[in-house]
């Protein structure tokens, strides 16, 4: 989500209808954008625990239903995702995510599957997509 | 992208599979999407799983996952997914590629979450557990996720994982930061895996094996030690990752709750964090401390940080951190520090954010009550509370004060005095007026000796607030006035003048008007003795669980339960109080009271009492165990209305609730309650809903019918807080009482239900119904139980009518008319012309007819306004064909309904049933 409140990328690991998703995102974004720097990165929203992190103009927001989840682990997972994206795009920015949304989804899918962390190893995560890139350059 | 046929059906699939086989060795990327797409196109589940099997086989694990998601997203043959599960298992455990193992584990997890039954437990569990020893960290991560989920259901099967997890953990924790290479994140070795392992260990009690335990404790100590070491990097990521492990460790320590040493260390560590620069850290430290406070070992240790926490409450800039601090104060409060904490919280309340004020008010009220040593302090606290944050003091809170004051002789005088003083403030909150009105009315005589608070002064003080208050408060004040007449005869003239004033006697509000009229007459008609009896001091309230606690829990909403709730108290036991609010009547199946509470938690807190009408003004104060319908705010009210028959809208009318108070003999079934027919009619066109509801019991129905068979689920919800005993619902068919149930037209099999229904609980009963032949009267459901010693019985008509066994039939116009003519004997037809009871709406009518069970036939009747339907009633003995025609006449608001069936009584019965629906 960028600072203007536009959603750039979202993934869900539970079933919500499209309207529900829009409402949820809207409320969530308003909540997160209204927070200031000195406030902590965790908040309770409906039944979700929200953990967010801000990178320049981008907010990365993760919501978890499970009540006893480790906030710091999620917080660092966000950072790790960003680092992996950074490694792949070389200086990742909002435009990278916007214009290569398929790849970004792909990378996130390598990291998280059905809401479970698969792998946090940067080389492992990027291996398939690099392979795919190589293949598409050849053809 | 290889040329994959998008053709449909089996051929497309065959082509697809052969394509895959041909291209098997081609390198991967494009295949992944191709596979997913095709799976979507063919859409047939069998095909999907074939694809899945194949692709998992070849290692294209992404498509495997996509395929599996397709599989699990639909309702599919169990066989298919079972095979998928088995294959997943085999891959998980065989020696295959790491990535395959990893994906297989995650697939299995997904499958398990979608439908736990599909994953059979077996000897493979041991092999899954051994994945924890795998070389590849990704595999271990996936395996831990899987095991954590599985072991929640089958803790015994996975017990072996404890020692493996511990050894794995100790290897990670003690490894140098360079050992794990890519898995080291900012000098912290594999933080996510460690967190997951710690979480897995939280599923089990502390290990019994001494060696394993020793190793684990060593690990935990290492983690705690590491927190003390100087950071290896200044980056926030490093400390975050480290703290992630630390917090998980602490929650494991709290979970074990058996190592006083570790608990205290953890507490001290958190204490350090309380003053940390990082807001996140402070927030989480406060949160974990809340859980720590509930452990008896660390409670004292937590208490040493009280000053820091109070300081946090005062100076913290972030509202959510402040809220956590307030939570923690609540959690660490006990008898020794209650006064300090309560006064701090009161002080904080003045500046608190509006959003959390109500919660704080509730917490203060609970703490004050729980730890009150002398009740005058308690009364002071609550009155302060009302003064500071009157708007946020909910009914429950001030009801509770009244209860306590009434029950304690020693504080009554003090309370009256304090209230009187509080009321002298030029502007005081309405809640204060309410409390004041009540207390002075009851105990005003105790302070009347003092000339500063002589009866006339008391009265004029209260009356000066009268005009500023809402209807509910005014009603309460009127009751106070009549009590004054009893307590202080010298005020009688003044008060009668007030009551006689036009603004009271002709008040637009019925409640006020009624009270004014009744009280006025009472005061002039009744002798002093009668007055004294009627207006005697309220008897002490029965001691029971505080309703405030329930309210606090309700506020927290579902899922938000934090460590604050001690778990000692049953969250749903206060349903009677909840009953004040209107229960949503449209719920299709009655949900257990916990759900209802959840629903009520959703709207903004505490509807203003006035909107609920004066009726429930004091419901909470007055409802005793008998759940009497306390309509008037005082018992005198009921008495009065008997004395005064011409009073408008006597509240007695509602006392005559047809609740089944009679106690019939042990074996006979009482006649159905008067509304039974009406209740039954509601269910003619629908299968689910609330069948019956009174103050004690709610009965919900969910049913489905196919051909001549039906299954019905009855849900009995206990709405009270008291257990029902000897609870026995039985189904009988009228007229067949003596004969065996099977010989009736309906065979009903019931499953027995438990004889006890706990307060707030719900039990389910399944009825299997078979229709043997056509019938006219529905079976009766007789529910019997003992509530608080008093036997209760209730007979309802079970919503099973002949039309439930309707099988819709589609036919063309020609066929319809042919059959219509065949059934032309006069006794085969039943016709009824009746006035519409509901607005005439074509769509609604259509829905009703469909719900009734018949098929709707379009283009049969020449007049498009008319409805034509056809169906067959299925019974075991015979089938009854049935044609119907409904002709609405919008001008006259009338309907003509014609039914033709092959059996005369059926025609008439159906016609009657259906006619009541429009």
pLDDT, tens digit, 9 for 90 and up, residues B347-374? 777 777 776 777 777 777 777 777 777 7
Which residue in A has a C-alpha nearest to residue B113's C-alpha? A114
* Global confidence as pTM: 0.52
Which residue in B has a C-alpha nearest to residue A115's C-alpha? B110
Mean pLDDT, chain B, whole residue set: 68
Nearest Cα neighbor of B280 from B236, B220, B313 is B236
Cβ–Cβ below 8 Å for B62 and A109: yes
Burial of B454 (0-12, 13-18, 19+ CB in 10 A): middle
H or E element in which residue B887 lies: strand B879-889
Which residues are CB-contacts of B75 (< 8 A; sequence separation ≥ 6)? none
pLDDT greater than 80 at residue A83: yes
Q: What is the distance between the alpha carbons of residues B784 and B237, in angstroms, rounded to a whole number?
A: 64
**CA B668 to each of CA B568, B663, B716, B777, B782: distance values in angstroms, whole numbers, following the listed order:** 42, 10, 21, 18, 10
Mean pLDDT for the stretch of residues B9-38: 45
pLDDT, tens digit, 9 for 90 and up, residues B369-426? 777 777 777 778 777 777 777 777 777 777 777 777 777 777 777 888 888 888 777 7
Give the DSSP letter of residue B788.
T
Nearest Cα neighbor of B227 from B242, B248, B210, B209 is B242
Paired tokens of B132: 């924890």
* Cβ atoms of residues B100 and B136 within 8 Å: no
Q: Rounded to a whole number, what is the distance in angstroms from the first to the last CA of chain B?
A: 61
Domains along the sequence of chain A with CATH: 18-135 (3.30.450.60)
**How high is the pLDDT of residue A78?**
84
Residue A136: its chain B contacts at CB < 8 A?
29-30
pLDDT, tens digit, 9 for 90 and up, residues B842-886? 777 877 777 777 777 777 777 777 888 888 888 777 788 888 888
Using alpha carbons only, what angle is made at residue B335 by residues B330 and B341, rounded to the nearest 5 degrees? 40
Residue A23 or B628, more confident: A23
**How high is the pLDDT of residue B539?**
66
Query: Looking at the partner chain, which of B138, B251, B319 has a beta carbon nearest the beta carbon of A118?
Result: B138
Cβ–Cβ below 8 Å for A75 and B62: no
CA distance A109 to chain B (A): 9
Mean pLDDT for the stretch of residues A52-75: 77
**How high is the pLDDT of residue B6?**
38
pLDDT greater than 50 at residue B68: no
Residue B640 or B773, more confident: B773
pLDDT greater than 70 at residue B625: no
Question: How many residues would you count in chain A?
Answer: 139
Q: What is the dihedral of CA B159, B162, B164, B169, to 10 degrees?
A: 160
* Residue B455: band (very low, low, confident or very high) from pLDDT cuts 50, 70, 90: confident
Q: Does B40 touch chain A (CB under 8 A)?
A: no
pLDDT, tens digit, 9 for 90 and up, residues B287-319? 788 777 777 667 777 777 777 777 777 777 777
Which residues are CB-contacts of B184 (< 8 A; sequence separation ≥ 6)? B177, B178, B190
| Interchain CB contacts (distance < 8 Å): A and B | 121
Cβ–Cβ below 8 Å for B137 and A38: no
Q: What is the distance between the alpha carbons of residues B877 and A60, in angstroms, rounded to a whole number?
A: 66
* Cβ atoms of residues B901 and B831 within 8 Å: no
Instruction: Choose, out of A44, A116, A136, A138, the residue to mutate when testing the contact with B (most B CBs < 10 Å).
Output: A116
Radius of gyration of chain A (CA): 15
From B391-400, B503-512, B652-661, B731-740, the region with the lowest mean pLDDT: B652-661
**How high is the pLDDT of residue A64?**
80
Q: Does B706 touch chain A (CB under 8 A)?
A: no
Cβ–Cβ below 8 Å for B318 and A118: no
Mean pLDDT for the stretch of residues A48-71: 78
Give the DSSP letter of residue B741.
G
**CA B184 to each of CA A80, A89, B178, B187, B219: distance values in angstroms, whole numbers, following the listed order:** 11, 22, 7, 6, 18
pLDDT greater than 70 at residue B542: no
* Cβ atoms of residues B118 and B150 within 8 Å: no
pLDDT, tens digit, 9 for 90 and up, residues B77-132? 444 444 455 555 555 444 456 666 777 677 777 767 766 665 566 666 667 777 77
Q: What is the distance between the alpha carbons of residues B372 and B410, in angstroms, rounded to a whole number?
A: 14
DSSP B804-837: GGEEE----HHHHHHHHHHT-SGGGEEEEEEE-S
* Cβ atoms of residues B434 and B419 within 8 Å: no
Q: Does A13 touch chain B (CB under 8 A)?
A: no
**How high is the pLDDT of residue B89?**
52
Query: Looking at the partner chain, which of A65, A73, A122 has a beta carbon nearest the beta carbon of B191?
Result: A73
Paired tokens of A6: 């536009």
Assign residue B740 a region: left if phi > 0, alpha if psi is -120 to 50, beta otherwise?
beta
Residue B231 or B595, more confident: B231
pLDDT, tens digit, 9 for 90 and up, residues B174-223? 776 555 666 677 777 777 788 888 877 777 777 777 787 788 888 878 87
Q: What is the distance between the alpha carbons of residues B914 and B918, in angstroms, rounded to a whole number?
A: 7
* Residue B249: band (very low, low, confident or very high) from pLDDT cuts 50, 70, 90: confident
pLDDT, tens digit, 9 for 90 and up, residues B554-609? 555 433 333 333 333 333 333 333 333 333 333 333 333 333 333 333 333 333 33
Residue B645 or B877, more confident: B877
In chain A, positions 62-121, which contact chain B (CB-CB < 8 Å)? 65, 67-68, 70-73, 75-77, 79-80, 109, 113-114, 116-121
**How high is the pLDDT of residue B331?**
78
CA distance B773 to chain A (A): 45
Mean pLDDT for the stretch of residues A125-129: 79
Q: Note the ipTM here.
A: 0.84
Query: Looking at the partner chain, which of A40, A122, A128 has a beta carbon nearest the beta carbon of B318?
Result: A40
Residue B491 or B648, more confident: B491
H or E element in which residue B746 lies: strand B746-750
Instruction: Choose, out of A15, A17, A32, A40, the residue to mutate when testing the contact with B (most B CBs < 10 Å).
Output: A40
Q: Does A54 touch chain B (CB under 8 A)?
A: no
Q: What is the distance between the alpha carbons of residues B194 and B202, in angstroms, rounded to a whole number?
A: 12
**How high is the pLDDT of residue B745?**
67
pLDDT greater than 60 at residue B631: no
Q: Does A16 touch chain B (CB under 8 A)?
A: no
Residue B29 or A79, more confident: A79
* Cβ atoms of residues A94 and A137 within 8 Å: no
Query: Looking at the partner chain, which of B27, B29, B283 has a beta carbon nearest the beta carbon of A42?
Result: B283
Cβ–Cβ below 8 Å for B237 and A76: yes
Residue A124: its chain B contacts at CB < 8 A?
138, 182
In chain B, positions 534-573, which contact chain A (CB-CB < 8 Å)? 557-561
Q: Does B194 touch chain A (CB under 8 A)?
A: no
Residue B196: its chain A contacts at CB < 8 A?
117
Cβ–Cβ below 8 Å for A70 and B199: yes
Residue B28: its chain A contacts at CB < 8 A?
131-132, 135
pLDDT greater than 60 at residue B10: no
**How high is the pLDDT of residue B515?**
82
Cβ–Cβ below 8 Å for A124 and B138: yes
Residue B113: its chain A contacts at CB < 8 A?
114
Instruction: Choose, out of A74, A118, A126, the residue to mutate when testing the contact with B (most B CBs < 10 Å).
Output: A118
In chain B, positions 731-790, which contact chain A (CB-CB < 8 Å)? none
Q: Does B327 touch chain A (CB under 8 A)?
A: no
Cβ–Cβ below 8 Å for A76 and B241: yes
Q: Does B126 touch chain A (CB under 8 A)?
A: no
pLDDT greater than 50 at residue B749: yes
Residue A70: its chain B contacts at CB < 8 A?
195, 199, 244, 247-248
Query: Looking at the partner chain, which of B65, B106, B185 has a beta carbon nearest the beta carbon of A80?
Result: B185
**How high is the pLDDT of residue B468?**
78
Q: What is the dihedral of CA B173, B177, B180, B182, to 10 degrees?
A: 130
Which residue in B has a C-alpha nearest to residue A116's C-alpha? B145
Q: What is the distance between the alpha carbons of residues A90 and B313, in angstroms, rounded to a whole number?
A: 44
* Cβ atoms of residues B292 and B266 within 8 Å: yes
Partners of B750 in beta bridges:
B767
Nearest Cα neighbor of B447 from B434, B438, B433, B457 is B457
pLDDT, tens digit, 9 for 90 and up, residues B158-180? 777 777 777 777 777 777 655 56
In chain B, positions 166-185, which contact chain A (CB-CB < 8 Å)? 182-183, 185
Radius of gyration of chain B (CA): 36
pLDDT greater than 50 at residue B655: no
- Name the 3-class secondary structure at B232: coil
Instruction: Choose, out of A114, A126, A132, A139, the residue to mutate when testing the contact with B (most B CBs < 10 Å).
Output: A114
**How high is the pLDDT of residue B276?**
77
Cβ–Cβ below 8 Å for B321 and A135: no
């Amino acid at each position: 989500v960028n600072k203007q409140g536009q959603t750039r990328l979202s993934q869900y690991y539970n079933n919500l209808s499209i309207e529900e998703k829009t409402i949820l995102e809207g409320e969530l974004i308003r909540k997160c954008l209204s927070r200031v720097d000195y406030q902590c990165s965790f908040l309770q929203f409906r039944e979700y625990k929200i953990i967010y992190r801000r990178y320049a103009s981008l907010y990365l927001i993760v919501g978890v239903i499970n009540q006893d989840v480790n906030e710091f682990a999620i917080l660092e997972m966000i950072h790790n995702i960003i680092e992996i994206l950074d490694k792949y795009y070389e200086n990742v920015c909002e435009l990278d995510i916007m214009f290569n949304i398929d790849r970004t989804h792909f990378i996130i899918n390598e990291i998280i599957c059905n809401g479970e962390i698969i792998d946090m190893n940067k080389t492992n995560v990027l291996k398939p997509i690099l392979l795919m890139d190589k293949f598409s350059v050849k053809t | 992208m290889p040329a994959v046929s998008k053709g449909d059906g089996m051929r497309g699939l065959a082509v697809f599979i052969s394509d895959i086989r041909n291209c098997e060795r081609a390198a991967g990327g494009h295949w992944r999407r191709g596979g997913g797409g095709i799976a979507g196109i063919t859409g047939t589940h069998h095909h999907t799983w074939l694809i899945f099997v194949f692709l998992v086989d070849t290692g294209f694990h992404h498509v495997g996952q996509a395929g599996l998601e397709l599989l699990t997203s639909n309702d599919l043959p169990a066989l298919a997914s079972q095979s998928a599960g088995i294959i997943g298992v085999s891959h998980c455990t065989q020696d295959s590629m790491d990535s395959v193992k990893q994906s297989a584990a995650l697939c299995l997890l997904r499958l398990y979450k979608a439908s736990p039954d599909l994953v059979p437990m077996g000897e493979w569990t041991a092999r899954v557990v051994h994945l924890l020893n795998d070389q590849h960290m990704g595999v271990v991560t996936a395996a831990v996720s899987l095991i954590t989920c599985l072991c929640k259901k089958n803790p015994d099967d996975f017990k072996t994982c404890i020692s493996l997890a511990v050894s794995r953990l100790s290897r990670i924790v003690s490894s140098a930061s360079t050992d794990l290479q890519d898995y080291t994140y900012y000098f912290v070795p594999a933080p996510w895996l460690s967190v997951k392992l710690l979480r897995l260990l939280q599923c089990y009690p502390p290990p019994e094996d001494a060696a394993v335990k020793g190793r684990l404790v060593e690990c935990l100590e290492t983690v705690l030690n590491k927190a003390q070491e100087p950071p290896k990097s200044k980056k926030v990521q490093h400390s975050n990752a480290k703290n992630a492990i630390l917090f998980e460790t602490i929650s494991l320590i709290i979970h074990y709750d058996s190592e006083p040493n570790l608990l205290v260390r953890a507490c001290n560590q958190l204490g350090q964090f309380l003053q940390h620069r990082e807001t996140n850290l402070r927030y989480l430290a406060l949160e974990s401390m809340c859980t720590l406070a509930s452990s008896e070992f660390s409670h004292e240790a937590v208490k040493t940080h009280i000053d820091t926490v109070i300081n946090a409450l005062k100076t913290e800039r972030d509202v959510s951190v402040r809220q956590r601090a307030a939570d923690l104060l609540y959690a660490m409060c006990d008898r020794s520090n209650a006064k300090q904490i309560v006064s701090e919280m009161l002080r904080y309340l003045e500046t608190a954010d509006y959003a959390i004020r109500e919660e704080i008010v509730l917490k203060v009220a609970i703490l004050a009550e729980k730890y009150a040593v002398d009740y005058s302090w308690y009364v002071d606290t609550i009155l302060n509370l009302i003064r500071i944050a009157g708007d946020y003091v909910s009914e429950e809170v001030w009801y509770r004060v009244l209860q306590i004051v009434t029950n304690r002789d020693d504080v009554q005088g003090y309370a009256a005095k304090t209230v009187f003083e509080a009321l002298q403030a030029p502007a005081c909150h309405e809640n204060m007026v309410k409390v004041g009105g009540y207390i002075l009315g009851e105990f005003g005589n105790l302070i009347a000796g003092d000339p500063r608070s002589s009866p006339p002064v008391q009265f004029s003080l209260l009356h000066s607030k009268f005009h500023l208050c809402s209807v509910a408060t005014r009603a309460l004040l009127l009751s106070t006035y009549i009590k004054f007449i009893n307590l202080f005869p010298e005020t009688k003239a003044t008060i009668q003048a007030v009551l006689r004033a036009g603004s009271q006697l002709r008040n637009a509000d019925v409640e006020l008007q009624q009270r004014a009229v009744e009280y006025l007459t009472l005061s002039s008609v009744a002798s002093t003795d009668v007055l004294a009896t009627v207006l005697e001091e309220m008897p002490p309230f029965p001691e029971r669980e505080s309703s405030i606690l329930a309210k606090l829990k309700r506020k927290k909403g579902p899922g938000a339960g934090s460590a604050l709730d001690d778990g000692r108290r049953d969250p749903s036991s206060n349903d009677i109080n909840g009953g004040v609010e209107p229960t949503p009547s449209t719920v299709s199946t009655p949900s257990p009271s916990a759900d209802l509470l959840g629903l009520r938690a959703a709207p903004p807190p505490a509807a203003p009492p006035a909107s609920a009408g004066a009726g429930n003004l004091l419901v909470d104060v007055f409802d005793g165990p008998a759940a009497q319908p306390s309509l008037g705010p005082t018992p005198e009210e009921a008495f009065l209305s008997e004395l005064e028959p011409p009073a408008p809208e006597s509240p007695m009318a509602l006392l005559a609730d047809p609740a089944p108070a009679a106690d019939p003999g042990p074996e006979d079934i009482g006649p159905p309650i008067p509304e039974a027919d009406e209740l039954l009619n509601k269910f003619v066109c629908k299968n689910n809903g609330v069948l019956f509801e009174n103050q004690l019991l709610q009965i919900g129905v969910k049913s489905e019918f196919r051909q001549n068979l039906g299954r019905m689920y009855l849900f009995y919800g206990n709405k009270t807080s008291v257990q029902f005993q000897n609870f026995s619902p039985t189904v009988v068919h009228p007229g067949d009482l003596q004969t065996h149930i099977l010989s009736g037209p309906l065979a009903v099999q019931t499953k027995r239900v438990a004889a006890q229904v706990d307060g707030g609980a719900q039990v389910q009963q399944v009825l299997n119904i078979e229709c043997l032949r056509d019938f006219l009267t529905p079976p009766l459901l007789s529910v019997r139980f003992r509530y608080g010693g008093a036997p209760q019985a209730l007979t309802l008509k079970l919503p099973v009518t002949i039309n439930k066994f309707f099988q819709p039939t589609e036919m063309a116009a020609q066929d319809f008319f042919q059959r219509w003519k065949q059934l032309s004997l006069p006794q085969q037809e039943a016709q009824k012309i009746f006035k519409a009871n509901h607005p005439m709406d074509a769509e609604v009518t259509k829905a009703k007819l469909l719900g009734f069970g018949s098929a709707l036939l379009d283009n049969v009747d020449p007049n498009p306004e008319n409805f034509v339907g056809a169906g067959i009633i299925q019974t075991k003995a015979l089938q009854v064909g049935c044609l119907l025609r409904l002709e609405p006449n919008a001008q006259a608001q009338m309907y003509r309904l014609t039914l033709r069936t092959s059996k005369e009584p059926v025609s008439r019965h159906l016609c009657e049933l259906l006619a009541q629906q429009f």
